[in-house]
Amino acid sequence: MLAGYRRALGLTLRGFALRGRAVGPGPGVGSGLGLRAVSTSWSPVGAAFDAKQQRGSAPGRETGLFGVPELSCPEGFQEAQDKALQESEQLVQKACSTPPGPEIVKIFDQLSDALCRVADLADFVKIAHPDFAFREAAEEACRNIGTMVEKLNTDVELCQSLRQLLADEVIMNSLDPETRRVAELFMFDFEISGIHLDEEKRKKAVNLNVRILDLCNEFLTGTHLPNKIDKHILPEHIRYNFIAEGNYLQVAGLHADCPDDLVREAAYKIFLYPNAEQLSRLEELLASRNSLAQLVGYDTFAHRALQGTMAKNPETVTQFLEKLSDQLSKRTQKDFEMMTKMKMKLNPRNSKLMPWDHPYYSGVLRAERYNIDPGLYCPFFSLGACMEGLNSLFSQLLGISLYAEQTQRGEVWSEDVRKLAVVHETEGLLGYIYCDFFQRPDKPHQDCHFTVRGGRLKENGEYQLPVVVLMLSLPPSTRNAPTLLSPGMMENLFHEMGHAMHSMLGRTRYQHVTGTRCSTDFAEVPSILMEYFANDYRVVNQFARHYKTGQPLPKNMVSRLCESKKVCAAADMQLQVFYASLDQIYHGKHPLQKSTTEILKETQEKFYGLPYVPNTAWHLRFSHLVGYGAKYYSYLMSRAVASMVWKQCFAQDPFDRAMGERYRREMLAHGGGKEPILMVQGMLQKSPSVEDFVDALVSDLDQDFETFITDS
């Protein structure tokens, strides 16, 4: 999953600082670093993660977070913010006084970088830092930079300098394609912020954006808050499953894996019980997004959000989802029938399949049919072995090696964070990945990729190296064993590392479009593609070794694991279609014809098949409505593209270096500097249709799909 400043806000605040998920952490992180040979401070990646203890910080003076000197204390955010705002004011003056030409685009990108340098770094810190004072200071910095962004996005004089460039056909025709696209993207950011409106309407657009930001933050907080219930309402024999607080029980999730049907039912009905405040926030958020979209000239918020994506418009998304739903319907029905039979077998008194049953009974069916016990796999997936597996794959496919690098005092926010240098065999150091992999109190449980600094060509000719953070929630090592990953954790690690490689290998001239700063429905392609590698025996066999005996993971175990994932996969995909369809309706034509809860009920019955449960409001827990507003379909469309790329380019040989180079050249290198569908065309040598997307997803569900793995 992608995270960061723009991702958190969706398209409510887009523009200079908010085109992507990247930021520059400021002077000090790798400043002056060019290409270099392997450093003596680098060590093998696997050993760094399987070590019982983290190596101490390097000797020398203390630095700040990510090597930013100001951030050695929370108060440093104010200093970093002030510098960024001062620099941005100077760049605005420079842009307004520079005649039309490529220099204008460079100045705009410097302006974007100056604001990102603080904003996205602060966005990560406010979520992940264990010190409340740091989180609070970072939150304030995010708010202040966001306010500046809104002013810039409606600055008429600044926009005029860019408009003059775009109006000069001779100059525009002389620009290289990337520079021309970046100029157009900056203008697009102005337009969706209402630059073409009169002063009164521009102010209204700014106010709407600010209100939307506040509503997003409030709604997101509300999606995670637990619900309480008088403990005497629940049967005594299930109360121990929930946290007790005096006479109340706290329900903080769905307990989807619990074998007791009654526990899952209680959790579902209590956790999803409607909250009037949260409902009001959602309704105001959806109405405000629609008002903003119409104010700046779009029919709906979905039309505004989907401009520049692979799908391009909500009509294409709806067509994609409806065609996919039609193709899935018979398979989904069979999956529900299998789950119902299993429920009848285990609980004859209550065999009707309900929404709280789907995750549990699909898991039971997988385990029973293929004898899948995650505990049998974990000993083969030590974290160190998995990191060496990634290292080996990237080396063969892309000519890249990962090295652990010792950190300076104060550089990281937790002593168990590892820093990796990403090094190309001929190009040298490409960037850094900070690995925040281990569980700790108050740390978010979501697996995420944050871009902390985007790459760009600096004014002095050096390349600004990208810096990212990967955040997972893995168990720590013990006295007797290293950190051991379940198959799902291993796949998630590969997924997030796919995002990281996108950031490392996107060698764009402008940070505004670097790495994962591209359309959402393309940004998930590299990460999902990595899941296909993680499920291929030829890849897994290179690193999956029992941490005690060194025995390789048997081929038939990998085969069973891969095939087990297809059990009830149609129903799982149908659920995603339901979520994506609901997202489209909420962000479609307003005013909505019915209440959000009635729409939920209708959409669930049309696209999912399991009944709506009265007095529940799942949509009030749908946190993706914030970051993926009108774009939740992106996961499905990205998976379709990843499937096509895998089957056509890597299924024959997952280590094919020529294909790896083509993948970098056609898809990873451009970031958002090229139309997403053109990158897909370059890789597949054809332009896929909606039907191609649907066929790719459905064909992945076939049990007899060739995986190049056979039971021994």
Q: How confident is the model at residue 375 (pLDDT cuts 50, 70, 90)?
A: confident
The predicted structure's pLDDT at residue 88: 96
Residue 27: pLDDT over 80: no
Q: Residue 243 pairs with which residues in a beta bridge?
A: 250
Among candidates 25, 145, 150, which has minimal Cα distance to 511? 25
Pairing of strands 418-424, 227-230: unpaired
The predicted structure's pLDDT at residue 289: 97
Phi and psi at residue 63, in whole multiples of 5°? -115, -170
Tokens of 385: 């072995």
Residue 412: pLDDT over 80: yes
H or E element at residue 161: helix 156-167
Residue 618: pLDDT over 60: yes
CATH architecture of 42-56+378-548+634-705: Orthogonal Bundle (1.10)
Q: Is the dihedral of CA 218, 223, 225, 231 positive or negative?
A: positive
For residue 425, the SS3 value is coil
Pairing of strands 248-251, 227-230: antiparallel
The predicted structure's pLDDT at residue 57: 59
Percent of the chain with pLDDT over 70: 91
278 contacts: CB under 8 Å, gap ≥ 6 = 219, 222, 223, 617, 620
Pairing of strands 400-405, 227-230: unpaired
The predicted structure's pLDDT at residue 154: 84
Average pLDDT, the chain: 90
Beta-carbon count within 10 A of 230 CB: 9
Q: What is the mean pLDDT of residues 615-636?
A: 96
Q: Any idea what the Cα angle at residue 47 is, between residues 43 and 50, rounded to 5°?
A: 145
Phi and psi at residue 214, in whole multiples of 5°? -60, -45
Which residue type sits at 507?
A: R
236 contacts: CB under 8 Å, gap ≥ 6 = none
Q: Any idea what the Cα angle at residue 390 is, between residues 688 and 435, rounded to 5°?
A: 105
The answer to whether 489 and 468 are in contact (CB under 8 A) is no
DSSP letter string over 386-418? HHHHHHHHHHHHHSEEEEEEPPBTTSSSSTT-E
The domain ranges of the chain are: 42-56+378-548+634-705, 66-153+155-193, 225-273
Tokens of 278: 């949260």
Residue of 350 and 608 predicted with greater confidence: 608
- For the ranges 206-220, 483-497, 695-709, the maximum mean pLDDT occurs at 483-497
Residue of 132 and 350 predicted with greater confidence: 132
The predicted structure's pLDDT at residue 645: 98
The answer to whether 257 and 191 are in contact (CB under 8 A) is no
The answer to whether 159 and 91 are in contact (CB under 8 A) is no
Give pTM, 2 decimals: 0.90
Percent of the chain with pLDDT over 90: 80
Return d(Cα 462, Cα 637) in angstroms, integer. Answer: 36
Beta-carbon count within 10 A of 139 CB: 17
DSSP 8-state secondary structure symbol assigned to residue 623: T
Burial class (CB in 10 A: 0-12, 13-18, 19+), 263: buried
DSSP letter string over 610-632? SPPPTT--GGGG-THHHHTTTTT
Which range (54-58, 111-115, 218-222, 395-399) has the least confidence? 54-58
Residue 589: pLDDT over 70: yes
The predicted structure's pLDDT at residue 546: 96
Q: Is the dihedral of CA 594, 599, 601, 602 positive or negative?
A: positive
Peptide bond into 591 cis (omega under 30): yes
Question: pLDDT tens digits, residue range 154-210?
Answer: 889 999 999 999 999 999 999 999 999 999 999 998 988 888 899 899 889 888 988
Unique residue bearing structure tokens 């005690």: 548
Q: How confident is the model at residue 20 (pLDDT cuts 50, 70, 90)?
A: very low
Q: What is the mean pLDDT of residues 497-521?
A: 94
Widest CA span in the chain: 78
Residue 141: pLDDT over 50: yes
Residue of 147 and 645 predicted with greater confidence: 645
Residue 10: pLDDT over 50: no
Which residue spans within 445-530 are E strands per DSSP? 448-453, 456-457, 463-464, 467-474
DSSP letter string over 93-147? HHHHHSPSSHHHHHHHHHHHHHHHHHHHHHHHHHHH-S-HHHHHHHHHHHHHHHH
Among candidates 77, 74, 88, 70, which has minimal Cα distance to 17? 88
Catalytic residues: 496
Q: Residue 71 pairs with which residues in a beta bridge?
A: none
Residue 510: pLDDT over 80: yes
CATH architecture of 66-153+155-193: Up-down Bundle (1.20)
Among candidates 504, 508, 518, which has minimal Cα distance to 470? 504
Unique residue bearing structure tokens 């307003």: 590
For residue 503, the SS3 value is helix
Q: What is the mean pLDDT of residues 544-550?
A: 96
